[in-house]
Amino acid sequence: MGDGWTMRKMWVGAGVAVALGMGFVMLLVVGVYLVAGNLAGGGAGGGAKKLAKGSVPAVYQPIVQKWGNLCPAINPALLAAQLYQESGFDPKARSAATAQGIAQFIPGTWAVHGVDGDGDGDRDVWDPEDAIPSAASYDCSLASYVKSVPGNPTENMLASYNAGPDAVIRYQGVPPYEETRNYVKTITTLEKSFAAPTTRVDPSEQAAGAIAYAQKKLGTLYLWGGNGTPEQGGRFDCSGLTKAAYESVGIKLPRVANDQYNAGPHPGRDELLPGDLVFFSDDLTNSRAIRHVGIYVGGGYMIDAPRTGAVIRFDPIDTPDYFGATRVTEDGAKALPTTV
C-alpha cells in the first residue's frame, strides 16, 4: 500500500514525461519480448546457498543462514521458504490447529523435535532462536529417515514433512497425494524467491502485457486501498495497480507489496528488465517492511501510483529507499500463501 510514500524529487518535467509516453513504452513492450526470445535458452542456476538481500528479516537472517546448512537436504533459502509459508516470519503466529510460533510446531511434534538452539537451557517454541534451529533439525531428521528412498532427497524430505516419512517410504518417493505434491512444488518454488540468484534470471513472458496495462492507467488519480473497481472510479494504490497489471495477463498476485516481493526471483539493479516489480522501503534489511511498489519500464523509470493527491505516472527508481526487484513468475505467484 502506498499512502506513506514520500514524494520524490522529479528530475524530468512534463515535457519529458510525455516523451516517455506511448511510443517509448510500446518500444519497451516489444523489446521485452525480444529479450525473452533471445535469452530463452539460458535458465537460472540452482543450488543457491545464500539468501537474497533482505528477503528474511535481519533479526532472523543469521540464524536461517547458519541452520539452513545443517544437512545436504536443506539450504537457507529453502528453510526461509518454509518459515514464510508457515507464519510469514511471525514469532507469535498461532493457528486454529494449535500450531505455534514462527515455525508452526504443534505441541506433540515440538515435544519430540524441539531443540535448545540458543543454548540458554530451555526449548521455547515461541523463541525464534529455538524454533528456527528446531525446524532445520526436524527437516534433517526427516531427510535422514527417508535417505534410502530413491529420487530427490529434498523433495522426499518435504513430502515427509507433509505426509509423513512412512508414506514416502511406502511409495518410494513423493506420494501421489495432491496436497503433498502441491506442498513440495510450493516450497521449492518459494525457495527461488528467497535465494540470491547465482546466474541470470530468465525474463518473464507476461511482462509486456503488464506494462501495457499500467501504461493505460497513466494520469489516474491515486486512491489508498484502490483496486481499480468501478465503485472506486477505476483508481488504484501502488500494490493495487501492480496486482491488476499482472492479473490482466493471468497472474494473480497478493494484495500487498511486501508479499508481492516473493512472487519470483530477484534480479540485480543492473539486470532489470521491463515488467520487473521494483520495491521501496525505509528498512533495507527486511522485505516485510516494504511499503511501495512499481512496474519497471526501462531507463531507470517505473510506472507507479505514488501517494494520495498524485496520479499514476513515471517515477525514477534510483532513490535511497530502493529495496530491490522481483521478476514475477506464474509459479512464483501461485506458490505464495493466501494469508501470512
Query: 5 pLDDT exceeds 60?
Result: no
- Measured in degrees and rounded to the nearest 5, phi and psi for residue 64 equal -65, -40
Q: Where in the chain is the domain with CATH 1.10.530.10?
A: 58-194
* The predicted structure's pLDDT at residue 97: 81
The proportion of the chain whose per-residue pLDDT surpasses 70, expressed as a percent, equals: 85
* The predicted structure's pLDDT at residue 200: 87
Per-residue buried b or exposed e for 166-189, using 16+ beta carbons within 10 Å of the residue's own CB: ebbbebebbbeeeebbebbbbbbb
Q: Are 322 and 280 in contact (CB under 8 A)?
A: yes
Domain 58-194 fold: Lysozyme (1.10.530)
Mean pLDDT of 277-296: 96
Of the candidates 329, 259, 331, which has an alpha carbon nearest to the alpha carbon of residue 290? 259
> E strands within 84-226?
none
Q: Which of 12-16, 29-33, 104-108, 208-212 has the lowest mean pLDDT?
A: 12-16
* The predicted structure's pLDDT at residue 49: 66
Query: 241 pLDDT exceeds 50?
Result: yes
Mean pLDDT of 145-165: 96
Query: 6 pLDDT exceeds 80?
Result: no
pLDDT tens for 294-335 read: 999 999 999 999 999 999 999 999 999 999 999 999 999 999
* The predicted structure's pLDDT at residue 36: 42
CA–CA distance, 292 with 272 (Å, rounded to integer): 17
> Across the strands, what pairs with 51?
195
H helices present in 128-177, as ranges: 128-145, 153-163, 165-171
Would residue 318 be called left, alpha or beta, if left means φ above 0 and alpha means ψ between -120 and 50 degrees? beta
Q: What is the CATH number of domain 205-335?
A: 3.90.1720.10
Mean pLDDT of 241-246: 97
* The predicted structure's pLDDT at residue 339: 59
Per the listing, cell 501461485 goes with 334
* Interstrand relation of 277-280 and 322-326 (parallel, antiparallel or unpaired): antiparallel
Mean pLDDT of 273-293: 96
Query: 216 pLDDT exceeds 80?
Result: yes
> Please, what's the largest Cα pairwise distance for the chain?
68
DSSP 105: B
The proportion of the chain whose per-residue pLDDT surpasses 90, expressed as a percent, equals: 80
Mean pLDDT of 212-227: 96
Alpha carbon distances (Å) from 77 to 51, 199, 209: 6, 16, 30
Q: Which of 155-159, 184-188, 201-205, 283-287 has the lowest mean pLDDT?
A: 201-205
Mean pLDDT of 55-83: 97
Average pLDDT in the chain: 88
Task: Tell me which H or E stretch contains 322.
Answer: strand 322-326
DSSP 29: H
Query: 12 pLDDT exceeds 80?
Result: no
Query: 41 pLDDT exceeds 50?
Result: no
Q: Are 105 and 113 in contact (CB under 8 A)?
A: yes
Query: 149 pLDDT exceeds 80?
Result: yes
CA–CA distance, 18 with 143 (Å, rounded to integer): 58
What is the 3-state composition of the chain as percent helix, strand, coil, each rounded to the nearest 5? 40, 10, 50
Per the listing, cell 524441539 goes with 114
* The predicted structure's pLDDT at residue 3: 40
Q: Where in the chain is the domain with CATH 3.90.1720.10?
A: 205-335
pLDDT tens for 46-60 read: 344 689 989 999 999
Q: Which of 155-159, 195-199, 309-313, 324-328 has the lowest mean pLDDT?
A: 195-199
Of the candidates 71, 84, 79, which has an alpha carbon nearest to the alpha carbon of residue 132? 79
pTM metric for this prediction: 0.83
3-state secondary structure of 67: helix
CA–CA distance, 237 with 234 (Å, rounded to integer): 11
